[in-house]
Amino acid sequence: MDLRRLLRLSAAGLAAAGLLVSGCTSGDSSSGGTSPESGAPAALKKYYGQKLDWRGCGVPDFQCATMRAPLDYEKPDGAEIKLAVARKKATGPGKRLGSLQVNPGGPGGSAVDYLQGYAGIGYPAPVRARYDMVAVDPRGVSRSAPVECLTGKEMDAFTQVDQTPDDQTERNLLAASYKKLAQGCAKRSAEILPHVSTIEAARDMDILRAALGDKKLSYVGASYGTFLGATYAELFPKRVGRLVLDGAMDPSLPADEMNRDQTAGFETAFSAFAADCVKQPDCPLGTESAADAAQRMKFFFNTLDTEPIPTGEPRKLGESLATTGVINAMYDESGWPGLRDSLTSAMDGDGSGLLALADSYYEREGDGSFSNLMYANAAVNCLDLPAAFKKPADVDAAVPSFQEASPVFGTALAWAGLNCAHWPTEATGTPHRIAAKGAPPILVVGTTRDPATPYKWAQSLAEQLSSGVLLTYDGDGHTAYGRGSDCVDTAINTYLLEGTPPANGKKC
């Protein structure tokens, strides 16, 4: 598994609207004395000046289009890439504010699916009334020249490989599984693989901004989408409009430190789940203390390592799939009751519930096929940062620090850092601080017990950005906007509609 994952929204998140504001504005974000494509390099004029051909796309009230961008920005006259774009036009009332681009994270999450399934219908009504809601599947993702790597059967085998190797044979098998994934990507996606970096995706967003007729970019990015948004601000600080970076990543961290921080984040989330679980009469981990619940969880994982259990289908539930299922439930506290039920069933010998959670994490369909989420996830991450670990011996040395960060998940998540060791393309990015000097206020949002993007990352990014403003949500789950806090939603809505950020350091 790879830790750097996308936002997953609960049913509660879909329904939450928060305290809404209507606000006033000084005008349309596409207005001004300069054209949206001004400042574009001469070699990219044909892309910045393109007109999008909007059409129906099978979802009521949404339109779709295809945008062109250079495959390689260093060779703008070379091959092109086609990117899938969708929008839902502003519904009114109120003066239109231009476009609001959205991205759910990942890397590898489909922004088009996110727009059509949530943002275009679930964002607060005053925001949807005054912005055209827009999404582009980043290059390599879903409908935009997707990275492909394995067959469904091969991916099934990959997800079941033991992530906590006990001997050299198991270490070799795990290393070989990562190597097979890398070789599959190289075989099936050789052309696109070197060109799916976050920098290139951010440059695509600027072409889309111009094609939409917006002078400046307004944007809401969640999880990895915050890194994408911060990268845009670094490249184009003068073109930043209103940027919300929710569940922030810290661009200054190397991959091993990032993975270790996330491991601690999942431990924090599990501790919160365990503390809640032991208060419930149906808690399968006991009713004594969170520490005892964690010990029982570890014991159960260890049992599955040697004795997988039935699931009602040919795949059995071993330690790797069970760990993935539990981790998936950490993204949203509304999933805790379902996790209790799944754990209860699994401890009674039925692994179907935890298997369903793992399949949801991997975006596995009932027919055994997978979305390209995990392939794009690896492709972008392995291009953006040098590998966390190059060989199994590196992981062995790091395991104690990961176990300290998380007694429950540490060993498995340490070995997950081997995923880029055999990647066929060299990393083009490096960890670095992002200041985006010259940008207007950028709103950074952090949740105190976020499992996937630890709160200290939001603190760090807000401090790095020369115009960063930190909004804190004291709560559980991954990200904060639209998850039930009127305080958070009102602050973000006011910023998006009026351009006025909350006071730096505001807590909800």
Residue 247 shares a structural domain with residue 258: no
Q: What mean pLDDT do residues 326-351 have?
A: 97
Residue 27, pLDDT > 70, answer no
Residue 19, pLDDT > 70, answer no
The CATH code of the domain that includes 29 is 3.40.50.1820
**CA–CA separation, 443 and 220 (whole Å):** 10
**CA–CA separation, 502 and 507 (whole Å):** 10
Convert the pLDDT of each residue in 408-455 to its tens digit: 999 999 999 999 999 999 999 999 999 999 999 999 999 999 999 999
Mean pLDDT score of the chain: 92
Asked if residue 131 is part of any domain, the answer here is yes
- Is residue 257 classed as helix, strand or coil in its secondary structure? helix
CB 105 within 8 Å of CB 377: no
Residue 355, pLDDT > 90, answer yes
**CA–CA separation, 256 and 11 (whole Å):** 33
Confidence (pLDDT) at 29: 37
Residue 33 shares a structural domain with residue 138: yes
Confidence (pLDDT) at 275: 97
Residue 208 shares a structural domain with residue 324: no
Convert the pLDDT of each residue in 133-168 to its tens digit: 999 999 999 999 999 999 999 999 999 999 999 999
Confidence (pLDDT) at 41: 85
Confidence (pLDDT) at 37: 75
- DSSP class of residue 81 equals E
Range of the domain at 488: 11-146+193-252+429-507
pLDDT band, residue 34 (cuts 50/70/90): low
**CA–CA separation, 457 and 260 (whole Å):** 12
pLDDT band, residue 13 (cuts 50/70/90): very low
Cβ atoms within 10 Å, residue 236:
20
Q: Residues of 55-90 as b/e, b for ≥16 C-beta within 10 angstroms?
A: eeeebeebbbbebebbbebeebeeeebebbbbbbbb
Residue 32 shares a structural domain with residue 50: yes
Confidence (pLDDT) at 7: 34
**CA–CA separation, 437 and 237 (whole Å):** 7
Catalytic residues: 223, 450, 478
Cβ atoms within 10 Å, residue 168:
9
- Beta sheet of 506-507, edge-to-edge order: 55-56, 63-70, 80-88, 132-136, 99-103, 217-222, 240-246, 442-449, 468-476, 506-507
Helices (H), 189-254: 198-211, 224-235
Asked if residue 370 is part of any domain, the answer here is no
Asked if residue 382 is part of any domain, the answer here is no
**CA–CA separation, 184 and 307 (whole Å):** 30
CB 385 within 8 Å of CB 107: no
In the chain, the amino acid numbered 3 is L
Residue 224 shares a structural domain with residue 134: yes
In the chain, the amino acid numbered 491 is A
Q: What mean pLDDT do residues 191-198 have?
A: 98
Asked if residue 440 is part of any domain, the answer here is yes
23: left (phi over 0), alpha (psi -120 to 50) or beta: left
Asked if residue 176 is part of any domain, the answer here is yes
Cβ atoms within 10 Å, residue 182:
22
- C-alpha separations of 457 from 62, 263, 307, 336, 453 in Å: 35, 13, 38, 25, 7
**CA–CA separation, 405 and 268 (whole Å):** 9
Residue 382, pLDDT > 60, answer yes
Give the CA count within 13 Å in the CB-facing half-sphere of 451: 25
What interhelical angle do 255-277 and 336-347 show, nearest 10?
A: 80
CB 216 within 8 Å of CB 29: yes
Asked if residue 81 is part of any domain, the answer here is yes
Convert the pLDDT of each residue in 217-262 to its tens digit: 999 999 999 999 999 999 999 999 999 999 999 999 999 999 999 9
Residue 334 shares a structural domain with residue 306: yes
Confidence (pLDDT) at 35: 72
Asked if residue 345 is part of any domain, the answer here is yes
Cβ atoms within 10 Å, residue 321:
27
pLDDT exceeding 70 applies to what percent of the chain?
A: 93
Asked if residue 378 is part of any domain, the answer here is no
Residue 8, pLDDT > 90, answer no
CB 29 within 8 Å of CB 218: yes
pLDDT band, residue 36 (cuts 50/70/90): confident
Q: At a CB cut-off of 8 Å and minimum separation 6, what does 488 contact? A: 18, 445, 471, 473, 480, 481, 508
Residue 472 shares a structural domain with residue 402: no
Residue 121, pLDDT > 90, answer yes
Residue 334 shares a structural domain with residue 349: yes
Q: How many domains is the chain built from?
A: 2
Convert the pLDDT of each residue in 37-94 to its tens digit: 767 888 999 999 999 999 999 999 999 999 999 999 999 999 999 999 999 999 999 9
Q: Is 278 exposed, middle or buried (0-12, 13-18, 19+ CB in 10 A)?
A: middle
Residue 262 in tokens:
């996330």
CB 122 within 8 Å of CB 90: no
Confidence (pLDDT) at 26: 29
Residue 181 shares a structural domain with residue 303: yes
Residue 141 shares a structural domain with residue 175: no
Residue 341 shares a structural domain with residue 490: no
Residue 297 shares a structural domain with residue 356: yes
**CA–CA separation, 16 and 316 (whole Å):** 37
